[in-house]
Amino acid sequence: MQRIRLRYTKRGRLRFTSHRDFQRAFERALRRAEVPMAYSAGFTPHPKVSYANAAPTGTGSEAEYLEIALTQARDPDQLRTLLDESLPTGLDVVDAVEARTSGLADRLTASEWELRLAGVDPADAHRAVEAFNEAGTVEVQRKTKNGVRTFDARSAVVRLESTEGLGGPADRPTDLPCAILRLVVRHVTPAVRPDDVLSGLRAVADLAPPVPVAVTRLAQGLLDEETGTVTDPLAPDREAVATEPQTAAATAAATAPV
């Protein structure tokens, strides 16, 4: 059995795609691309697809990950192209590598986010970010199925900084002033999400964007503690393939009919 790890995006209006909607679209893409999928056993077999830490509905992402299991070896790049062509624009498969190491989910320990606050003066955002960073704790509340939960949104934040740019995301630009926040946050329990950080900014500095904030995940992977950056979780697999180039996928590609 060959395992392939994929990175895909949620762009533009497709950021409103729920995880369940993406699962349905991806399984249809697997059938269209005639991918030789491995299936689970039992009365209701389903394709062996492992999804890892999907972004919330309504947020864009440049760094979503999943792993599929195949019954026949395929070249990862050719497979990526076939799947990308079988998915709607916005759900784009942008990277693929043969899994040569274990624990993809264990390497997703942090995320980098971009938050575009249209209608917010960059100077006001900068002051709010300074107040948040200087705070020891920032308690926020989130409604859960078990009621309202209070937790600290500050401890999971590795880096929060502000800049400025054009208002709104690419599919709905505005002429409003726009503050842009860059956020690196650890994956902890309970999870601290970008909207929790926004609640924290409201708590410490009364920062309240007048329109919905456009949120995009730029990266997720292992956190480099020294630099505070998020590293590529597929890099160990890519390096392992480079040191052993004649993998099953390479053999299959070399012997495939032209």
pLDDT-derived band at 174, boundaries 50, 70, 90: low
If you average pLDDT over residues 31-44, what whole number do you get? 92
Across 83-88, average pLDDT: 97
pLDDT of residue 169: 56
Contacts of 161 (CB under 8 A, 6+ apart): 129, 181, 182
Residues 129 and 123: their CA atoms lie apart, in Å, by 10
Mean pLDDT, to the nearest integer, of 77-100? 96
Element (H, E) at 95: strand 93-98
CATH code for the structural domain at 109-230:
3.30.70
State mean pLDDT over 143-154.
Answer: 89
Same fold, 2-106 and 109-230: yes
For residue 257, name the pLDDT band (cuts at 50, 70, 90).
very low
Closest by CA position to 7, among listed 110, 109, 108, 116: 108
Query: Is the pLDDT reported for residue 175 higher than 80?
Result: no
The architecture of the domain spanning 2-106 is 2-Layer Sandwich (3.30)
Q: Where are the domains of the chain?
A: 2-106, 109-230
